[in-house]
Structure 1
Amino acid sequence: MHNKKKGLSMWSVSTLIILAIFGLFIIYPLLLVLVKSVIDPENGKATLSYFFKFFQKKFYWSTLINSFKVTIVATILSVLLGLPIAYIMRSTKIKGSGFLDILIVISYLSPPFIGAYAWIQLLGRNGFITRIINFLFNVKLNGIYGFAGIVLVFTLQSFPLVYMYISGALKSIDNSLNEAAESLGAPSFKRITSIIIPLIMPTLLASSLLVFMRVIADFGTPMLIGEGYKTMPVLIYGQFMGEVGGDDGFAAAICMIMVIVTLLLFILQKFLSNRNSYAMTALKPMVAEEVRGIKGLLCHGFVYLAVFMAVLPQMVVIYTSFLKSNGGQVFTGGFSLDSYKATIFTKSNMAILNTYKFGLIAIVAIVIAGILISYLTVRKRSFLTYIIDILVMFPYIIPGSVLGISFLFAFGDYPILLSGTSAIIIIAYAIRRLPYTVRSTSAIIGQISPSVEEAAVSLGASEIKTFFKIMVPMMMPGVLSGAILSWVTAISELSSSVILYNSGTQTLTVSIYTEVIRGNYGNAAAYSTVLTFTSIISLLIFFKLTGKKEISM
C-alpha cells in the first residue's frame, strides 16, 4: 500500500511539474500577447483599437482572405492528389512502390519554403523552364509569383500528408465489402465513391484539416514567392519586425486573430473526428492486384508524375548546389564546389552546428516529456492530465511566428531573460514539435493492455519499476515514430527561428531563407542540400532501427 501511495505521488508531482512548464512556456506567453493586443501602451487602458485598425483597412483584412483562399485551394488540391495516389498504391501493384513510399515521405519532411525556392529556380522570371517557354513561344512569362505559385508549392508539399493518412486508413478496410459491391455489378468508380470514401471519411477530414492548419500558418513560402500577395503570417512578421521598429500592439492583435482562427479549426477537427470515429477490423485487407493495359499505364503514369513533381524541388536544390556561380547569384555554367566552400566550409559558419545542437537537445527533451505526458494522459486520467492533453496541442495549432513573438514578449526582459540565447530556440523547438511524439506514443499506449502492468505489480514490482522496465520498452515504437517527425520538423523550423535568432544562434533554415532573400541561390542550395540529406539519413536510420518501411501517421 505504501508503494502505491509513493507511485501515485510521483505521478502527481510529474503532472504538476509538466503543468508548471506548460504554464510558463505556453499560457504565460500567449496571455502576454492577448494583453498587448487589448491594452493601450500610452494610458494603460483597455482598447480594441488594434482590432478595429485591422478590420477597417482592406490592406490588412485582405491578408486574412488571401490566407483562406490559398489554404482552401491548396487543401482541396492536396486531397485530389493524395486520395487517388493512396488508393492506387494500395489496390494496384505499382513497380517500385516501396521506393515511391520513401520518396513521398521525404518530400513531405522537406520544409515548404525550400520547395518555394526550388520553383523560383524552375519557374521564376529567369527560371530554367520559364526561359525555355519564353524562347519557344516568344512570350514573356512573369514567373511563378503570387497566388498560383503559393498554391502549387503548398499542394505538392501537402498531398504526401493526405497520402500517408489515407494509406494507413485503407489498411484497416475490410475488402469483402468492396468485393460484395463488385459482385452486385457496381462499377469501380461507384465502389470508390459509395464504399471506400465514406469508410475513410474521418481520416480524410482529419488529414485535410491538418493540411489546412499547416498551410495557413506557413510563413516562408508566401514570403519568398508571394510578392504582392500577402498572407497573415507575412503580415505578422512585417508588423513585428518592421524597419521602423514595428508595432507590438498591432502585431499582437493580428497574432490573436490567427490564434482564434487556428483554434476554431482545431475544435472543428476534434468535433468531426469524434462524430465520425469508428473502429473497423480488416478481416480481409485490400490486396494490390496486377493491372495491365491502358489502365495499368494510366495508374503508373499518374503516380510517377505526382511523386516526381513532389521530389523535384529536392532534386533541383541538390543539382543547383553543384553549379558554378558568380558569388552565388548568377550561375556561370559548369560544376564546382564553390557554393559549399562559401557556406559549409567557412570558419565563421555555425548554422549547421547550431541546427544539430539545438535539434538534438530539443529531441532529448521531447522524448522524455513525450513518454511522461503520453503515459499520464492515457493511464493516469484526471482533470489535470486532461488539461495537459489540450495544452500539448497548442504549439502545434498556433503558427510558429505567433509562438516566436509570444516568446519575445515573455522572455525579452527580466526576470526571465532568454531573448538572444540558444535556450529560447531550443525551448521553441521542443514545445512546438512535442505533439508528434505525444500523439504517436499515446496511440501505442492505448494498444497495451493495463493487465500487463497489473501482472507486474502483483508479482511484487513497484509501479515505477513497472513503468521503466515494462511500459517504456513497449512504448518505444510509438516514441521512435514521433521522435523522427519531431526531429526532422524541428531542424526544418523557420517561422519561429527567423523571429528568435541572432547572429550567434543562426540555424540552417534561417541561413537558407536569408541567402534566398539576398539572391545568393548557390549558397541557399548548398545549405538546403545539407538539410535534405540530414532528413534522408534520419529517415534511413529510423527504418533501420524499427525495421519499418514507412512512418505511421
Structure 2
Amino acid sequence: MKQLRKFFNFWNVVRIVAFATLAITLVYPFVTMLKESFVSQDTGGFTLANYFEFFKYPYYYKTLLNSMSVVLAATFFSTLIGLPMAYITTRYNIWGKSIINIMIILSLLSPPFIGAYSWILLLGRNGFITNLFRNIGIELPPIYGWTGIVLVFSLKFFPYVYLFVSGALKSMDSSIEEAAENLGVSGFKKLMTITFPLILPTITAGALMVFMTSLADFGTPMLIGEGYKVLPVLIYEEYMSEIGGNATIASMLSVIIIICAMAILFVQKFIIAKKSYMMSALRPPKVIALKGGKRFWATFVIFLVAGVAMVQQVVVVITSFIKTKGPIFTKGFSLDSYRMIINKLSTNISNTFLYSTIAIIIMVIAGLLLSYLIVRRKSKVNGLLDILIMFPYVIPGAVLGISLLVAFNDGPIVLSGTATILIIAYVIRKLPYTIRSSTAILYQIDPSIEEASINLGVSPMKTFFKTTARLMAPGVLSGAVLSWITTINELSSSVILYTGRTGTISVAIYTEVVRASFGTAAALASILTVTTIISILVFNKISGGRGITM
C-alpha cells in the first residue's frame, strides 16, 4: 500500500493524466486517420490502392507539385527578405527599431488570409492600384494564382526568418568576425563565409517555420489561387465535398502532407548535424553607427518593406469603415459593417473569445505542469511526452481537424459538431507555444531555490505551487499570449470542425469573403487585428519589454 501511494505521487499522476489525454486526443485520432487512409472505398478492407491512385492521377499528384512549388518559392523569398532586414536592424543604428519590430510582428500575427484579401482589394481585377494604373493605360498582371500565393506568403511569413535571425545576431560572439577581418576577410565575403554560416541553424529554423506554415495554410490559396490548387485546399474539398465527403481520400492526402512536413524537418536536422555551431557569446557585436544619407536610406528601406508587409492590416481597417452596397464599395464612410456583424455574427464573435479563453486556461495549467516534468524530471518517458506535445507544431490545422473528425464522428466518443472538439484542436495545436516559453524560463530558475524550500519541510508539490510556479508565471503567460493570438486567428482547423452553432470569427471572415460581403469581412478582421495589437502590448508588458523573439 505504501509503495502504491509512493507510485501515485503528484508528478506521476500528472504524467499519467498527460499521456492518457494525449493518447485520446492526439494519438488515437492520428492512428484512426492513418487506418482510414488504407481502407478500400469499394470493399472496406485494407488496400494500398488509395496511395497508388494519388500518384496515378494528375488531379492528385499535381497538387503536391503545386504545393512544393509555392512553398519552396515562398521560403526562398521570405529568407531573401528576412535575412538582410534582420542584419540591418541588429547591426546598424537605424531609427525606429522598436516600431519596426511591432510592424513586422503585426504582419506575422495578422488574422487569417487577410493578406490575400487585402491584395485582392489592391491588385485584384477591380483593385484600387489596378484601377489607378488602368486609368493611365497600364494593365497590371493578375494577382491570382501562383504569383499571388507566393507574394502573400512571402510578405506574411518573412518575419519568422527576421525574428529568428535577429535573436541569433544579437547573441553572436563578435571575436569570430574580428578574427576574419584581421585575416583580410570583410564586407559581403565575410557575411557569406563567416557570419551567416555561423548562424545557419537559426536561418534554417526560420526557413523551416516558413515552409511548415505555408505548407499548412489553407485560406490564402483557397481565396487567391483561382484554379491553382494545393494540398490543404484539396484535402478540404475532398472531406467537405457537397456530393458527400470522402474521408478515405482526405485521410490519405493528410498522411502525404504529414510525410512531406516530417521529411523537410529531418533534412533540416541533417544539415545542422553535419557541423558544430557552438559560440561563447561573451562579446556581443557592437552596433555600427551610420551617418547622414546612409542612415536615412537604410531606415527608409527597412520601413518600406515593413510597411508593405503591414499594408494588409491598414487596408482591412480602412475598408471596414467604407460604405458598401452588396459586394460593391461606395463613396463615404460609415459603421454599417460593424452594425451588421453585431446583429448577424455576434455568436461567432462570442464563440471565438469563449473558446480561446477556455483553451488558454487549459494551456496555462498544462504549460506549468508539463514543462516542469520535461525540465526538472528528465527521463526517456518525459522525453517522449515532449515529442508528443510538439508533434502538432509541424502538422497542418486542416489535417488535425480531419483526424479529430474521423476519430470522434461516431462511437465510442462522439464530439463532432460540439464546441469541445474545437477547444481540443486549439489546445493541441497551440500548446507548444506555452510549453516552449515555460521550459525556457524554467531553465533560468536555479533548482537550489526549490531544494531550500523542501529542506525547510515544505512538500515538493507545495514548493512547486508556492515558489516555482510563481517564478515561472512571466514565461508561462508570455507563451500563453502568443498561444492566444494564434488561437483567435485559427482558421484551418476551425473551418473543418465548426457547425452553424460553433462558428468563429475566422470562419465568418472566410464565409463572408466567399459570399463577397467584403465590408463585414473587413470589420471582423479589424476586431481580430485590434485584439492582436492589444495582446502584443500585454505580451511586451508581461515580458518586461523584451518583445517577441523566436
Report the TM range for the smaller structure's normalisation: over 0.9
Deviation beyond 6 Å, 4+ runs, structure 1: 2-5
Structure 1 residue 67 and structure 2 residue 67: aligned? yes
Q: Unmatched 5+ residue regions in structure 1?
A: none
Query: Per the alignment, do residues 4 and 97 of structure 1 end up closer, same or farther by CA in structure 2, a change over 3 Å counting?
Result: farther
**Aligned with 1:334 (options 315, 319, 332):** 332
Are 1:447 and 2:475 matched, yes or no?
A: no
> Structure 1's 275 and 478: CA in aligned 2 closer, same or farther, altered over 3 A?
farther
1:277–1:438 Cα change, 3 Å: farther
Partners of 1:527 and 1:277 lie apart in 2 by 48
In structure 1, what is the equivalent of residue 282 of structure 2?
A: 283
Q: Which range is displaced more, 454-463 or 266-275?
A: 266-275
Aligned position for 2:469: 472
TM-score, with length taken from structure 2: 0.96
In the alignment, which residue of structure 2 is the partner of 1:169? 168
Residue 369 to residue 181, structure 1, CA distance change in 2 (3 Å): same
> In 1, Cα distance between the equivalents of 2:168 and 2:5?
41
The SS at the match of 2:329 is strand
Check whether the contact 2:112–2:490 (CA below 8 A) recurs between aligned residues: no
Deviation at 1:382, TM superposition (A): 2.2
Contact 1:90 1:287 in 2 (8 A): no
Aligned equivalent of 1:119: 119
Distance 2:8 2:185 in 1: 57
- Distance across 1 between alignment mates of 2:344 and 2:69: 45
Give, in whole Å, the separation in 1 of the partners of 2:259 and 2:396.
Answer: 11
| Distance across 1 between alignment mates of 2:167 and 2:446 | 23
The total of aligned residue pairs comes to 549
Tell me which residue corresponds to 2:201: 202
Amino acid at match of 2:331: G
Whole-angstrom CA distance in 2 between matches of 1:110 and 1:348: 20
TM-score, normalising length: structure 1? 0.95
Cα distance in 2 for partners of 1:116, 1:325 equals 20
Equivalent residue in structure 1 for 2:508, among 511, 522, 533: 511
Q: Secondary structure at the match of 1:137?
A: coil
Letter of the structure 1 residue corresponding to residue 332 of structure 2? G
Using the alignment, how far apart are the partners of 2:192 and 2:522 within structure 1? 43
Corresponding residue number in structure 1 for 2:155: 156
Summarize deviations over 1:439-496 as a string: whole Å, max 9, x none.
1211222233333322322232211122112221222232122111111001110001
Q: Pick from 353, 372, 375: which aligns with 1:375?
A: 372
1:25 aligns to what?
25
Check the 8 A contact 2:367/2:431 in 1, yes or no.
yes
CA distance in 2, matches of 1:471, 1:266: 34
Q: What is the Cα-based RMSD across aligned positions, in Å?
A: 2.0
Q: For structure 1, which segment, 117-126 or 104-113, has the greater mean C-alpha deviation from structure 2 after superposition?
A: 104-113
Looking at structure 2, the residues matched to 110 and 6 of structure 1 have their Cα atoms a distance apart, in angstroms, of 48
- Name the SS for the 2:343 alignment partner: coil
Contact 2:111 2:529 in 1 (8 A): no
Paired-residue identity, %: 50
Q: CA offsets per residue over residues 240-268 of structure 1, 9 Å max, x none?
A: 10110121111111111112112222333
Whichever residue aligns with residue 467 of structure 2, its letter is I
SS at match of 1:287: coil
What is the CA–CA distance in structure 1 between the aligned matches of 2:298 and 2:404, rounded to whole Å?
A: 48
1:533 corresponds in structure 2 to 530
CA–CA distance in 2 between the matches of 1:339 and 1:347?
Answer: 10
Letter of the 2:237 counterpart: G
1:66 is aligned with what amino acid? N
Question: CA 1:7–1:278 in 2, change beyond 3 Å: closer, same or farther?
Answer: farther
How far does the alpha carbon of each residue in 1:330-379 deviate from its partner, in whole angstroms, 9 at most, with x for none? 01111111111111x21652111111100010011111111211111122
Which amino acid letter does the alignment assign opposite residue 438 of structure 1?
I
CA distance change for structure 1 residues 476 and 295 in 2, over 3 Å: closer, same or farther?
A: same
Match of 1:486 in 2: 483
1:106-145 superposed matches below 5 A? 106-139=106-139, 141=140, 143-145=142-144
Task: Indicate conservation of the 8 Å contact 1:146/1:229, yes or no.
Answer: yes
The separation in 2 between residues aligned to 1:381 and 1:163, in whole angstroms, is 32
**Contact 1:119/1:313 (CA < 8 Å) preserved in 2?**
yes
Q: How far apart are 1:274 and its partner, in Å?
A: 5.2
The verdict on how the C-alpha distance between 1:68 and 1:477 changes in structure 2, with shifts beyond 3 A counting, is same
Q: 1: CA distance between counterparts of 2:3 and 2:441?
A: 26
